Structure formats: structure tokens, C-alpha cells
Structure 1
Amino acid sequence: MLKRSKKAIPVVLAGILSLSILLSGCGNANNKGGSSSTPEATNTTEQTTSSPEKLENVDLTWYFNGTPQADVASVEKAINEYLKDKLNVNIHLKATDWGNFDQKMQVLNASGENYDLAFTANWANNYYQNVNKGAFLPLDDLIAKYAPDIMQVMPAGGWEAAKVNGKIYAVPNYQIWAKTDVLWPMKEMADKYGLDAANVKGWEDLTPFLEKVKAGEPNLIPIESNKTGQFGNVITHYRFDEFAGRNVPGVVKYDDASLKVLNQFESPEYKSFVALMKEWNDKGFFRKDAATLADSTPDRKAAKLAVIVGGTVKPGGDTEMKALTGKDTLMLGTSESVLTTSGIIATMTAISKTSKNPERAMMLLNLLYKDTTLYNLIAHGIEGKHYKKIDNQTIEAIKDGGYEPNSDWEFGNQFNGYYRAGQKAGDWEETIKINERAVNSVLLGFSFDPTPVKTEVAQIATVTAQYVPLLETGAVDPEKFLPEFISKLKKAGSDKVIQEEQKQIDAWKASK
């Protein structure tokens, strides 16, 4: 078992994250580490310490983003054997390709089909929209009864970020929360074509490099692009706090003390960005089918991309990217590190309203925050079959082993995980320090409740689904299509949404 220090490390993030945390999650469970904003623990005989013989065997189905793994069955078997004497559950891991995950979850939620756990975020399986639709259970009582270890580890700011209208509907996964926009150039190409990494401050600085790649590497795609859109990958570079969710009109400059809400799609920044995308598309930097491509993960794995985009700067991030692509990559930050509510809710786990066993689902989440063996089974698979140990803290994936999700950040407390080959001991502690040192957005702690404008938000989603892929892959002329896009957003109710956002922010500011 991976050993972690039991020393409590104080984390102070401008007050809202002022809660001591334990890296191991294995400390004294009597220390709940909470505040008035944290779910209060309750005494119950039905907590996770219940004897397994008193727990009826149940099935738990968990949907999440990721490439389906060939040998998931053996991992499920190992997990279920491990959990038999702890929770007496049979877990079913349902990875769904990145580009199809949203549609899969929309169909699943609309059908009322039973499932238990699901990955949710502001950018995938949209958290706010699903809360509005009633797809997720409120978790406050379940957390208080069945999640003492999560309560012990989770900084108070995590709970605040997850609240919608005062209630918690998903548990934030504990990992890198600070957001730093990032580009991942293939090191071999960067060296070959003289990329001046130190002077890449924004995407526009890549143009000369991408021109060289296009001319000299006919078998490579110069830069990644797909229909999910790219503006979200430069949002921090443009100093926006995307508090309402991806592609929902409404941002605030993270350093604007006036807290004025802007429509990002009407901003000079967005106009400049889509113009750059059009230029790049015309120069052949993207796949020809980028506007309709649901998932570019296969291109990542095949090392067909000279530059990968998305994610955030974090210790060991380049190691994770090498594990995915098989190639050394550079990790180029293009923004400050900023702590926002949207950064915290960028990776969470919800419990479905259709779950037949929500108590057991919460017990499982709680154990993932505490139990390093369970966490590493889900994140990395079986030792000797899917990975080998380099030392007590570091592992290396076995090639073609059949299980390497490479998405550790989806499964609870990432700081319970082994380091990957190439990562350094202490990277988890350094990650927490990055969270601590990050610039705090002026909106940190604010959660938007879209209920009053849920009809408009739904109408806007239809419009953005039509225009964002076209504009953000440069497939259409922004001089014509951007004004058309903005006009349709207004008809769908974007101005009303902006007004409601400003109203809630003003009330939040007045209450501080």
C-alpha cells in the first residue's frame, strides 16, 4: 500500500479554503475539519463502519468520461473482492468516450434508467443543468451520515463551490483546483522547429511554429481541435471567470472588483480568438473534420498531434501526457494560476436520482477518499498485470496491459494515488501548494443558481451547439457568423441570463 504522511498540512486560500487537510485521508476520524458551511456529521449506526454482514450485497453502476478499457472486467472483479468485506458491493465501471459522454448521459437521464454514480462538471455532463433537471440527488444528508473521511479531507471551499441554491449535489474530486491554461507541444517537434517556449504567452504566438510543422510534417496534425470548442482552453488567459458553466453566457474578469458580468461571446477577446481559429483553419492547422469530430483522444494516443490543448498546468502533468501519447511533451502555461469556483467543480462525482442505493454509493465515495488500495485499483488496475512498481510510491504502466484510464482525477482523492514514472516524490504536496498560491478570483465561493432562467439556458444550449463548433474550429467566416450567433443568443434569452447572473452576484457581494 502506498504510504502517505499523516501530518496535517494547513491550506489557506483567501479564507474560503482555510481548513487543515490530511494528505493521506487516514488520520483521526474524530476531526471533521469543517465549518458552518460544511455538512455536519451525524451519529448513526448506518455509517461506513457497519459490519459487511449487515449490508445486503448491491450493484453500483458508475459512468465517467474516458476510453473504455479492454480489461475492465478483471479490475471490477478485483475491486469487488476487495470491497466484499468492507461495503459488500459489486461495482460496474462504465467508461464512455469523451466525445460521446454528454449525449450518453443526456439519454440516460431522460430515460430514467437506473444508475448510481456519474462524473459531472461545468464542462461535461453539465452540473448546473443536471441539477436543474433533477437528475442528481442532494447529498448534504448523505455526506453527513456516510462520508466522515471526505469531510475530514475536503477543504471547506470544495463544499461551497459545489452548492446550488444552498445544497450540495456532487462531491468535488480532490486534485489540482487552480486553473492555468496550458499547451502541450511535442518536444521532438519543438526542438526540431525551434519553438521558443519561453515566449509563448498565448495561442497567437504558436502561428510561426505551426506553419513550420504544417510544411515539414505531412503525417502530423499541427494542433488539436474538435467540436467541443476551444475557447474554454483560453478562458483564464483572457482573465475570465467562467462561473456559469461552459458555453453559458456570463463571465466576470477574475480581478474585477466591480464584479461586472459580461457576455463572453460579445467580447473583443472572443472575436479575436475566433478570427485566429479561422486563420489557422485556412492554413490547414486542424483536421478537416474538426467541426464535427467528437473526440480527438485517438489522435492523442497515436501521437498525431504536434500540439495538444486543454487541461491545466500541474506537477507531473507532462508525465501524464507522455503516458497517454508515448512522446515527451512540453507543458506551456499561458495564464496565471487562478482559483475559481469553476476550477473546483471541473471534476466531481454525483449520485443519480435513480440510484436504488444512494447510501452505499456515498460509502464508496467516502472510502475512495481514505483507502489507497481501492483508489489505486480504480485508477491504475492490478499490480503485475496493468502496472509494475518502480518503488513504494511510483508505478509504470505495463504496455498493452489492458487497463490504463489515465484519468486519475475522476476518482475521488487523487492524492491517494501512486506517482507515475517521471513524476517526483512530493508532487502531491506541490499540487496543494499551487492551489494555495493561486490568485483567488473575485468570485471565489459564488455559485450561480440557474433555476430562474433554466428555460433560457436550455434554449441557449441549442444555439451554442450549432455555432460554437463552427466558430471555434474556424470552419466559418466569423465576420458573418459571429453576429448571427450573437443575435440568436439574444433571441434565446442571453440578456435575461446576464441580468439574472448580475442580480445573484450583487446579492452575494452584499451578503459578504
Structure 2
Amino acid sequence: MKKNSKKLLALLLSASMTVGVLAGCGAKSTNNEVAPATENANEAISEKSEADGNTPDISEHVDITMYLVGDTPETYSDILAKVNEITEREINASLNVKWLSWSEHDAKYSLLFSGKEDFDLIFTAPAWCHYEQTVALGGFLELTEDMISKYMPDVWAQLPEVAWKQAKINGKIYMMPANFIEVNPLAATIRTDWMEQFGFTDIKSWDDMFAFMKACGENGKNAFAVKEDNPWGLYIGCIAEGCNPKGYCGLSGTPSGNSYIFYNGYDADSTKLTSLFDMEEFRNYCHQMKELADAGAIPDDVLATNFEERQTYMAGGKAAYFLWNTGTARNYANEINAAHPECKVQIFNFFEDDTFLASKYTNNGMGINVNTKNPERAMMMLNLLATNQEIMDLTSLGIQGVNWELNDDGTYSVLQPYNASNYWGWRNGDMIRNLYNPAATDVDKKYEQMNESYYQNIKPEHMLDYFGFDTTAVSTQVAAVEAADDTYWYPLLCGQVDDVDATIDQFKVALETAGLQDIIDEAQRQVDEYMSAQK
């Protein structure tokens, strides 16, 4: 049977981008303060619906504040002004957008809820963008089927039942999933000028990748420059080479972006959970990273460098590669080649004999603050964002006639590039336009080949692919476990330890002391209950 841990790749990459999720919040006190508001808000909406009949009251203009994760695109104020022309016309509401940058969302996301900041909507996703943790803290408004069908009728009609199923935690919905799924596994964006210089014509396996990284060090070059680009996700994805023979997949909602608790995603009958320390593969990987660090392939300051500068590091000669999902890797590769053609950047994914897991609908979505003053209009705003073609075009492509033009065949051509950022929470696959690309680059051609292979080899689903862990009962242990990340996790993943085996043993003791087994036991209890309910 073909195997692949695409899901684990994505989650492990996400884990490397999101450390210490909500670790600073005391879940019990926060939960007591916030959670009751969900019931109050739902009761208020229900009473208002009964009074108003089936037609929502939009006579009073309201302002909706929305948080997105990412960097503010240039000219976004112009885009938003045009979006607001539509929202004011359609639902008598305007949208105010605030941003949590890639470098700050881990620390600030939970503070928006614990500090009771006045806002309405926020981007969310399982594991890497705080969905399960925020639900556990009582931060998101529960969305009942009656509320969705009344205030988000177009979304309700378009999204398949499985999307809402994926969004449920303990049988309740707390997010609007995006109407979009994709097969978009991890890829390495590599300087092929260095490959040629060091005698490599291609990279088709983990052994090839390791040899290239070591050659970088031996020639005075860094393989990677930021801790998030450590190749653990690549290593654990190489099932065909025996790096992950048991099909480990991270269990959604568990600590540190699903980095420590796993299930066998390739055996439909297996629901037994295991921990990172049951994996001999992890110890093997850490020894290889130590070998690379000793060879000079990993810089001594790798734990302190700025994630947001990773493309700059590559173009400036400080890194041989960086990691991202295949679509984003393609975009950045083209950008670097345009500015620095001497780098000859290309994208690589060397899981040729594997199958790939399609993303969940919940991989991107929008949550509603439990303390919103305008829950009905917030839902109506989401309905409009997700199903209005004009808004979809504006937020994904920019302004028609300025950034892009529509072709007779329905494709679009770029006039002035617009770097769209985080419209993913309402992205609708039925409404996204295709790019007309008469001058495809070598990167584009490689992407199309890889993408075709992905969709031809989609992995069968496992029931636990839809599971979301509720951390409420073990929130203290989760915070303690995640607090150990910077001390052990990244130093091991990047080879920055003196004694690998001793450090792994210390790491295991630290997580066990923090309560990892309690978390595993609670997760197993929930998994068993979840699986029983599916029968």
C-alpha cells in the first residue's frame, strides 16, 4: 500500500511556525469568564430571530472588526474601500480589518480573547491557528444550524456536510470553514546554482537531500537559516524510504501544532495513540541534524533568526533552501528568480512513491468572537465574503482594471501584481479564477507536474483525520508541555545540542513531568468516544 504523511508534513511545518499556542493563558479562570457568553449570545440571537421573523433586521448600520493573520498587503486600504461599497450596499455594514503578523500571532491571538478586545471576526484553523485552543477557552461563538441557515444561507447551501462535520468539537460548530480543499504538501525551494556547484543534478530522496545539506556545510554554506526550515517535516514524510514506516500523523488539536501525539493515518482500523518518544525515527533524525550542524551546514544563530526574512536569507546567500507548501513555494521561487536569476531557484518534492492527503475544509476558516456585539451581522458579513464574486475577486486578485483583467475565456491576466494575503478564511473554490499564463516559468512547469501527481495519488481518509482534540480538561498540562518547546524541541530539530541522546532523554522527562501522559490519556479517551459515535 502506498503511504504518505502529507498531513503530518503540513502540521509539522505548522508546528514549527506556531510554538506555545495560548500557553500564557490560565484556562480555568479564562473559561469561567468567557464561556457563559456563548449561551447568552445564542439566546439573544434566538429571541431576536423570533421577534423579527425570517428577515434579518439591517436597518441600523454597524461596523464589523475582523482580524486576519499575515502581513498587510500593499494597497489593501484601496481594496477594503471597494469591499465596503459592496457590504454597505448589501447588508448595511462596513468592515474594518486588523492584522496579526506571522511573527506575533502566536503571542497575541489568545490575548484578544482574554483581554476582551472589542472585535467580531477572526481567521482560525486547527492546530496552527488556535481553533481548538480558543474553543477550549470559550472564545468562539457556537454556530447552530438554525443560525447558519438564517444568517449565512448561501454558505449553508454551498458547503458540503463534511465541512461542518470537520468543524465540530464535541458535536458543536465554532467556525465557518472555507469552501476550499487542496492537495498542497510540503516542498523545498532550493538554490540549484549551489546544487550544480556541489555536484547535484537532482534531489529525489531524503538521502539526496541530506547529502546536499552536508555538502553545503562542507563548502561554507548554510543549508537553512531559520529554525522553522528544519527538515523534520521532509524526513518524516519519506515513508517510501522507511523514515516513517508506521504512517505517523499528528492528532489535530494536540500540543505544539500536533507535534507530540500521533495515530497511524494509513491503517483505518488503528486508533491507538503514540507519542513522539515512541518513534525511533525521531532519534535518528536528531542524530543526522547534529551531524549537519557539526559539518557547518546549520548556523549557530539558527534559533534566533527571523522567520519573516527566510526568502531574503536565500537570495542573500545565507541559506540553500526554505520550506513551504507547494503553492506558496512556487510563488516565492518565481519572485526570487525574477529578482536574482543567478540563484536558479526550483521547487522539489521527493515523495514520488507516496500518496497525498487532501486538506480539510477547516484548514482555513473564520470564527466569531463570543463577545461580539453584532453576531447576526457578523454572520451575514461572512456569508457575503464567502459567496459574493466581486468580493472574492477583490480580496484574491485586487482591483479589476488595475491589478488584473478578465479574459474572454474566463481566465484572468495580471496587470499589476497584487500580493493577496489571507483571504483564505472565506476562499471559495467555486469562485476562484484561473490565471492565464502564456509565459510559464520553469518553476511553473515543475509545479504543474507535481500538482498533477498529487491529485492522482490522494490518500484514503482515516476517521481521525476529522477529529479535533478538546484541551479543556488538560489545559494546564498543555501549557506546561508547550513551554518546553524552546528548551528542547527546536534545539534538537536544528542540531543545536551537545549530546543528542541525553537531550532527548531530558526532553522526555520534561514533557512527562509537564503532563504529556495525562494529555495522551485524555486524547485517547476522546478518540475512543469519537470512534464509538461513528458506528
- Match of 2:530, as an amino acid? W
Farther off after superposition, 487-496 or 283-292: 283-292
How many residues are aligned here?
A: 453
1:125 counterpart SS class: coil
- Whether 1:502 and 2:524 are equivalent positions in the alignment is yes
- Closer/same/farther in 2, CA of residues 472 and 479 from structure 1, 3 Å limit: same
Q: Where do residues 31-50 of structure 1 align in structure 2 (5 Å cutoff)?
A: none
Contact map agreement 2:187 2:347 (CA 8 A) in 1: no
Query: What TM-score, normalized to structure 2?
Result: 0.74
- Does residue 369 (structure 1) correspond to residue 386 (structure 2)? The answer is yes
Structure 1 segment 446-485 matched on structure 2, within 5 A: 446-477=467-498, 478-485=500-507
Q: Is the 8 A contact 1:274 1:471 kept in 2?
A: yes
The corresponding residue for 1:292 is 304
Distance in 1 separating the partners of 2:65 and 2:453: 31
Q: What is the rounded CA distance, in whole Å, between the counterparts of 1:470 and 1:491 in structure 2?
A: 19
Taking the aligned partners of 1:435 and 1:348, their CA distance within structure 2 comes to 26
Q: Aligned to 1:330, what secondary structure does the other structure show?
A: strand
What is the CA distance between 1:193 and its match in structure 2? 5.1
> How do 1:41-190 residues align onto structure 2 when only pairs under 5 Å count?
54-141=58-145, 142-178=147-183, 180-186=185-191, 189-190=194-195
**Per-residue CA shift, 1:68-108, capped at 9, x if unaligned?**
22322111111111222112222222233212111121222
Matches of residues 219-368 of structure 1 in structure 2 within 5 Å? Answer: 221-223=222-224, 225-226=226-227, 231=232, 236-237=237-238, 238=244, 239-245=247-253, 246-247=257-258, 249-256=260-267, 257-297=269-309, 299=311, 303-304=315-316, 305-311=319-325, 313=326, 319-322=330-333, 324-326=335-337, 329-334=346-351, 336-339=354-357, 343-368=360-385
Could you tell me which residue of structure 2 aligns to residue 6 of structure 1?
Answer: none
User: What residue in structure 2 maps to residue 487 of structure 1?
Assistant: 509
User: 2:431 maps to what in 1?
Assistant: 416
Amino acid at match of 2:414: E
Q: Alignment partner of 2:307: what SS?
A: coil
Matched residue type, 1:404: N
| 2: CA distance, partners of 1:404 / 1:382 | 12
What SS does the aligned partner of 1:502 have?
helix
Distance 1:118 1:149, change over 3 A: same
Residue 431 (structure 1) shift: 8.7
Gaps of 5+ in 1: 1-42
* SS of the residue 1:119 aligns to: strand
Correspondence for 1:29 = none
Runs of 5+ consecutive residues of structure 2 not aligned to the other structure? 1-48, 239-243, 339-344
Alignment partner for residue 378 of structure 1, among 384, 390, 395?
A: 395
Taking a change above 3 Å as real, the CA distance of residues 154 and 210 of structure 1, as seen in their structure-2 partners, is same
Could you say if the C-alpha distance between residues 319 and 267 of structure 1 is closer, same or farther in structure 2, counting changes exceeding 3 Å?
A: closer
Q: Considering fraction of residues, name the structure with more helix.
A: 2
The C-alpha deviation readout for 1:316-375, integer Å capped at 9, x for no partner, is 6664334554555324153844447x8543322211123222222222222233222201
Distance in 2 between residues matched to 1:467 and 1:297, nearest whole Å: 24
Matches within 5 A, 1:410-449: 410-420=425-435, 421=437, 422=440, 434=455, 437-449=458-470
Amino acid of the structure 2 residue aligned with 1:418? R
CA change 1:271–1:130 in 2 (3 A) is: same
Give the 3-state SS of the residue equivalent to 1:60 in structure 2.
strand
In structure 2, the residue corresponding to 1:85 is in which secondary structure? helix
Identity of aligned residues (%): 25
Worse overlay, 327-336 or 348-357: 327-336
Distance 2:454 2:522 in 1: 35
In structure 2, C-alpha distance between the alignment counterparts of 1:285 and 1:323, rounded to whole Å: 25
CA distance in 1, matches of 2:250, 2:347: 26
Find the aligned partners of 1:171 and 1:152 in 2 and give their Cα distance. 13
Partner Cα distance (1:193, 1:133) in 2: 51
| CA distance in structure 1 between the partners assigned to 2:232 and 2:314 by the alignment | 25
Read off the aligned partner of 1:210 and give its amino acid letter.
Answer: M
Letter in 1 for 2:148: I
| TM-score between the two structures when normalised by the length of structure 1 | 0.77
